[in-house]
Structure 1
Amino acid sequence: MRKRLHLPAIVAALVTAAGLLTAGSGTPAAAVPATIPLKISNNSGRGDALYIYNLGTNLATGQQGWADSAGNFHAWPAGGNPPTPAPDASIPGPANGQSLTIRMPKFSGRVYFSYGQKLVFKLTTGGLVQPAVQNPSDPNRNILFSWSEYTLNDSGLWINSTQVDMFSVPYAVGVQPTGGTTKTTGHLKPGGYNAFFNSLRSQPGWAGLIQTAPNGGTLRALSPLYGVETGGLAANVMDDYVNRVWSKYSSQTLTVTPFSNQPNTKYFGRVSGNTMNFTNSSGQTVTSFQKPDSASIFGCFKLLDAPNDLVRGPISRTLCAGYNRSTLLVNPNQPDANNANFYQDGVTNQYSKKVHQQMVDGKAYGFAFDDVGAHEALVHDGNPAQAYLTLDPFN
């Protein structure tokens, strides 16, 4: 199954295309060290064992592997077909009420954390097989776990709290600049964990996203994309909204201004038949999109593919955000900067809506391009002294 490592793949695009990481992000005052400390605090209230994994790509060499608690890099051995077991990269995590500090190397990767059981990782000839719990036969299907994505490089640290693939373990991330105040994101409101699942269960047609353990306990809610792919969510759930968008922009123009720091760069969309064509300010057609289906909208791929370029990708990112947030009908100028308009239509990404509703700061990665307009749960600093991962209570 397709796995998307969202944050590390697009950090450069965020800086260049959206200008999202400039304000308040800090300019490196000195060389970023080879490793920085990551303080992991277990405030979960759970008594089961905790396991930590730091997996990713060594930015100095391009090798895939894992880091031990001291931040030392270990390359994965060659995999096989069928996949072979990966070396045990787990780090014993802190008990409930305790903290542990490990070292983060210059990686683009993920920090996984699992409760009660170690995760099962395998290696193919192409590299690491990430957990894919939308597959009922995945060995991690009944394990309670999640992950944070991060990039640490010479320009600083980016670290997120992500629900792009699933909503599961409540946690938050943070970064403390050298001599500065810690920035955090990802904390749920008091009672937010239960409120999210209760709201999703009561939303007609959306309860099928929830996966439970053999004992009946709640494990996670899959993203709408995986819900569509597995049959837990109707494949036509967004069709009515798409049809209304198509009708509106058959006679009106949709204006996309994809770069916040380039307000004069605009693209103009009009629908003709099954195609939405975009022109630039000179009237030249620059790209076209076919009428998207629900999977394309929720995954921001397929018919809404977003290559890492300066035209189609930025337009597609903006469209993806507009469809998921259901703002395309209320504002012909996108992206919509007024978050009061988000998720107000009866047809919308209810999963992302409910995730955002329960966040203390309102920010989340409810879908892949939730960073359009800086609504994502991401912290960055160019001169990081320490990072934080806080595992919060399940209430």
Structure 2
Amino acid sequence: MSLQIDLVNSTSSPTVYAYVTGLDLNANNAWLLLRSDGQTLYHPTSPSQPLTPLAEDCAIPLGSPGATRSIRVPRLVGGRIWFSLDKKLTFLLNPGPAVVMPSVTNPSDPNYDIKWGFVEFTYDTTQVFANISYVDFFSIPIAMSLSTASKQVKSVAGTSHDGLDAVAADLLAQHDRDGQGWDKLVIRGADGSALRVLSPNSGMALHPGLLSDYFDALIDQAWTQFRSAPLTIDTQAAAGVVQGRVSSDDDKLRFPATSFARPSSADVWNNSSGPFDVGQVGDEGRALIPRLAAAINRGTILSGGTHPVDLSPEGYYVSERTNHYAR
């Protein structure tokens, strides 16, 4: 069983390449890439040396602006469809094999000065799941649509063609207003144009200390508020709606089955360290962590009511301390 995916070059560039990576469910979760014809499977073998080039050409040319290229993928988990403008990407192999993918936080990466992005997807025996991911960075606009067996078409438009420049300009303007270093999230090419915009967490990897105390005052306000009033969160999971209060004994935000020490700003940005390490909590905690971090990022943590707060898009990211990258 395979899935046909039509890739459309909606850019103004005559040179756009696509790549497909993932773990092949039909081959014991072995690494898989598609070769340049968009049809032939390539399962790389373990190399003897780190950073070994691929043995096959896996760059799928999309053709001129407006052209469509059809590819077929088998059942995959952890899949990505990558796109690059004007130049090919470099994928390497480490012993295992392990695929070394392009990085936005390593200036020595051979792909660092190329404009690229990706869509995440899984195609297993029960579903097709796809996601335009801007968790770590944003670069080229990517849209997607899905045609179902019942002839329904579901679409995600992505950003406008000038979305990258608009986001970069907004972050520069935000830095001019508050001096917090948002300008450092904008990565530019040799010609001065924007290559990508990094998330704060990725930006901190390039610039240690960037935004490192940004949410501290807001977190302190929240901890003070939740000593006398409960924080109510709908886990949207088996735990249902739960309430937490900050204990005067140990300064922890305590829910029925989970407690959280006061997080740092870095814990909020990465959503995975300190008290937000999902490996240290049970099911309730794993449901609470992303919702608690989201309330801080969105600037809604002090708003009362049940979180996630049900607001129109204009109601988020309006407070003084908020995640302006996400905004």
Q: Could you tell me the TM-score, scaled by structure 1's length?
A: 0.74
In structure 1, C-alpha distance between the alignment counterparts of 2:205 and 2:162, rounded to whole Å? 30
Amino acid at match of 1:82: P
Q: Residues 169 and 230 (structure 1 numbering): CA distance in 2 closer, same or farther, change over 3 Å?
A: same
Counterparts of residues 42-81 of structure 1 (less than 5 Å): 42-47=9-14, 49-60=15-26, 61-68=28-35, 69-79=37-47
Once the 2 structures are TM-superposed, how far is the Cα of residue 235 of structure 1 from its aligned partner? 1.3
In structure 1, C-alpha distance between the alignment counterparts of 2:95 and 2:242, rounded to whole Å? 42
Once the 2 structures are TM-superposed, how far is the Cα of residue 352 of structure 1 from its aligned partner? 0.5
- Is 1:85–2:58 an aligned residue pair? no
Cα deviation, 1:316-346, whole Å, max 9, x if unaligned, reads 1211221211211112421212244311211
Cα deviation, 1:248-274, whole Å, max 9, x if unaligned, reads 1122211222116x5x72332222366
- SS of the residue corresponding to residue 167 of structure 2 reads helix
Counterparts of residues 290-301 of structure 1 (less than 5 Å): 290-301=261-272
Q: Residues 160 and 246 (structure 1 numbering): CA distance in 2 closer, same or farther, change over 3 Å?
A: same
Runs of 4+ in structure 1 off by over 6 angstroms are: none
Once the 2 structures are TM-superposed, how far is the Cα of residue 238 of structure 1 from its aligned partner? 1.7
Once the 2 structures are TM-superposed, how far is the Cα of residue 80 of structure 1 from its aligned partner? 5.0
- Is 1:315–2:288 an aligned residue pair? yes
In the alignment, which residue of structure 1 is the partner of 2:70?
A: 101
Amino acid at match of 1:325: R
Alignment equivalent of 1:343, drawn from 307, 311, 317: 317
Question: Unaligned regions of 5+ residues in structure 1, if any?
Answer: 1-33, 281-285, 354-395
Preserved contact between residue 275 and residue 288 of structure 1 (Cα < 8 Å): no
Alignment equivalent of 1:269, drawn from 229, 237, 244: 244
Question: Unaligned regions of 5+ residues in structure 2, if any?
Answer: 176-180
| Greater radius of gyration (CA) | 2
Q: Residues 96 and 207 (structure 1 numbering): CA distance in 2 closer, same or farther, change over 3 Å?
A: same
Counterparts of residues 1-395 of structure 1 (less than 5 Å): 34-47=1-14, 49-60=15-26, 61-68=28-35, 69-79=37-47, 82-87=50-55, 88-108=57-77, 109-126=79-96, 127-189=98-160, 191-204=162-175, 205-231=181-207, 233-259=210-236, 265-272=240-247, 275-280=251-256, 286-303=257-274, 304-307=276-279, 310-339=283-312, 340-353=314-327
Q: Residues 341 and 306 (structure 1 numbering): CA distance in 2 closer, same or farther, change over 3 Å?
A: farther
- SS of the residue corresponding to residue 345 of structure 1 reads coil
Preserved contact between residue 255 and residue 267 of structure 1 (Cα < 8 Å): yes
Preserved contact between residue 53 and residue 91 of structure 2 (Cα < 8 Å): yes
Once the 2 structures are TM-superposed, how far is the Cα of residue 74 of structure 1 from its aligned partner? 2.2
- SS of the residue corresponding to residue 159 of structure 1 reads strand
In the alignment, which residue of structure 1 is the partner of 2:178?
A: none
In structure 1, C-alpha distance between the alignment counterparts of 2:39 and 2:266, rounded to whole Å? 38
Higher relative contact order, chain-length normalized (CA < 8 Å, sep 6+): 1
Once the 2 structures are TM-superposed, how far is the Cα of residue 144 of structure 1 from its aligned partner? 0.7
Amino acid at match of 2:315: N
Q: Residues 250 and 57 (structure 1 numbering): CA distance in 2 closer, same or farther, change over 3 Å?
A: same
Once the 2 structures are TM-superposed, how far is the Cα of residue 277 of structure 1 from its aligned partner? 3.4
Once the 2 structures are TM-superposed, how far is the Cα of residue 163 of structure 1 from its aligned partner? 0.8
In structure 1, C-alpha distance between the alignment counterparts of 2:149 and 2:8, rounded to whole Å? 20
Preserved contact between residue 71 and residue 103 of structure 1 (Cα < 8 Å): yes
Cα deviation, 1:263-302, whole Å, max 9, x if unaligned, reads x72332222366433332xxxxx22222222222122111
After superposing the two structures, state which structure 1 stretch, 300-309 or 96-105, moved more: 300-309
Q: CA RMSD in A?
A: 2.2
Once the 2 structures are TM-superposed, how far is the Cα of residue 234 of structure 1 from its aligned partner? 2.4
Q: Residues 170 and 228 (structure 1 numbering): CA distance in 2 closer, same or farther, change over 3 Å?
A: same
Q: Residues 57 and 43 (structure 1 numbering): CA distance in 2 closer, same or farther, change over 3 Å?
A: same
Once the 2 structures are TM-superposed, how far is the Cα of residue 214 of structure 1 from its aligned partner? 1.4
Amino acid at match of 2:128: L
Q: Residues 224 and 82 (structure 1 numbering): CA distance in 2 closer, same or farther, change over 3 Å?
A: same
Preserved contact between residue 58 and residue 107 of structure 1 (Cα < 8 Å): yes
In structure 1, C-alpha distance between the alignment counterparts of 2:168 and 2:224, rounded to whole Å? 34
